[in-house]
Amino acid sequence: MTHPIRRSSLNVATLAMIWRRVGVLVALALVVAVASFLSHRFLTVPNLLNVLRQVAIVGILALGMTFVILTRGIDLSVGSILGISVVLYAGLLENHGMLVAIPLGVCAAMAAGLVNGVGISYAGIPPFIMTLGMLSFARGLAFIYTGGTPIPILNESFYDLGNGYLLGIPIPSLILISVLVASGIVLSLTPFGRSIYAIGSNEDAARLSGVPVRFYKTLVYVISGGVSGLAGLVYASQLSIGTPIAGQGYELDAIAAVVVGGTSLFGGKGSVVGTFLGTLIIGVLANILNLTGVDPFVQQLFKGALIVLAVFIMTRSNRA
């Protein structure tokens, strides 16, 4: 006697799942609709490309953060790691050129992530504490490296990375989209990605199933660090200056984008596509508030309210 799978039945769990999948999309559509109603300048190609460029840095950070949060961790150090990479790019470009500066900057960022990962996975330090420590430590390194004074960047081809266009699309946006595609593939199509979800869902069960939990958890922080280095590339290029305060507070924007994008802080649920949409929602909101001339101080209130509202809706739909 066999019981074939019935595909037609719609239960509460699948409804919740559908909400998680398309709810963020619906929210984005809503924000876009309201935005285009409020300003005729919003729904124009230059403005939309502008939004896509403006969200690039936080968007890239948020994609790396998604890996971490899926394992039920948190990475508070992404802003500081970005800062380290920025001062390294600035410091190395002058004498060594891009081919040395970029790999070294990214490697340094990954190394910081590796320290996070080892501390968390092997020494058992809680992610919050370990990355809080790195937040301070990496920022300190950035200050020491520069001696406190920003290093100007004069390299012209490096300038294009943050400000140029390729096929009419801003290069930072192309980097963002490349990272999105790559991380999407890794998370949904590789054993590593699958295991990330398993670790976040129930770490003990994952370990007993033979998942190399400690190694993979370490890897997740290396990814988050490396991705922060990529975001630093865009940052350094856009500002043309290697300032040691680069990226201060960005970790919170990245976490906000992940959360608005529907990834659960309790692990095991979420996607990088959601994070990308979450990034866009926050970006579009900032954009329309700018276009309509809302006081930047007041804009902060909107962002704060949005984050809380998003999580409220999500917990509601989960309980359903």
Partner 1 sequence: MSNSSDQAATGGDATALLEVRGLRKSFSGNVVLSDVDLAVLAGEVHAIVGENGAGKSTLIKVLAGVYQPDAGQLFREGRELRLSSPRAAFEHGIVVIHQELSLAPHLSAGENIFLGHYPTTRLGTIHRARMHRRTRELLDTLGISIDQRQPVGELSIAQQQMVEIAKAISLDAKVLILDEPTAVLDEPMVKTLFALLERLKRRGIGLVFISHHLEEIFRVADRVTVLRDGVRTGLSAVRDITQDWLVAKMIGREFPPHQVQVRSSGKPALEVEGLCVRGAFEDVSFSVRQGEIVGLAGLVGAGRSEVAQAIVGITRPSAGSIKVFGRVARIANSNAAARLGIAYVTEDRKAFGLLPNRAVRENATISNLARFRRFGFLKRGEEKAYVQRLIERLDVRLSSMEAEIRTLSGGNQQKVLIGRALAVEPKILIFDEPTRGVDIGAKREIYAFIEELVAGGVAIVLISSEMEEILRLSDRVVVMRRGRVAATLSHGEANENSIMRAAALAGESA
Binding site for partner 1 (CB under 8 A): 1-3, 5-7, 9, 11, 13-14, 17, 189-191, 194-195, 197-198, 201-202, 204-212, 264, 268-269
22-25-28 Cα angle (round to 5): 155
CA distance 226 to 186: 15
Is the distance from CB of 31 to CB of 286 less than 8 angstroms? no
By beta-carbon proximity to partner 1, the closer residue of 199 and 286 is 199
Q: Which two tokens stand for residue 204?
A: 């003990």
Is the distance from CB of 275 to CB of 264 less than 8 angstroms? no
CA distance 185 to 183: 5
Shortest distance, position 296 Cβ to partner 1, whole Å: 39
By beta-carbon proximity to partner 1, the closer residue of 195 and 287 is 195
Shortest distance, position 206 Cβ to partner 1, whole Å: 7
Shortest distance, position 70 Cβ to partner 1, whole Å: 11
By beta-carbon proximity to partner 1, the closer residue of 32 and 311 is 311
Amino acid type, 117: G
By beta-carbon proximity to partner 1, the closer residue of 69 and 86 is 69
CA distance 120 to 130: 7
By beta-carbon proximity to partner 1, the closer residue of 144 and 181 is 181
Shortest distance, position 262 Cβ to partner 1, whole Å: 13
Shortest distance, position 211 Cβ to partner 1, whole Å: 7
Please, which residues bridge with residue 296 across strands? none
Identify the H or E element spanning 242. strand 241-242
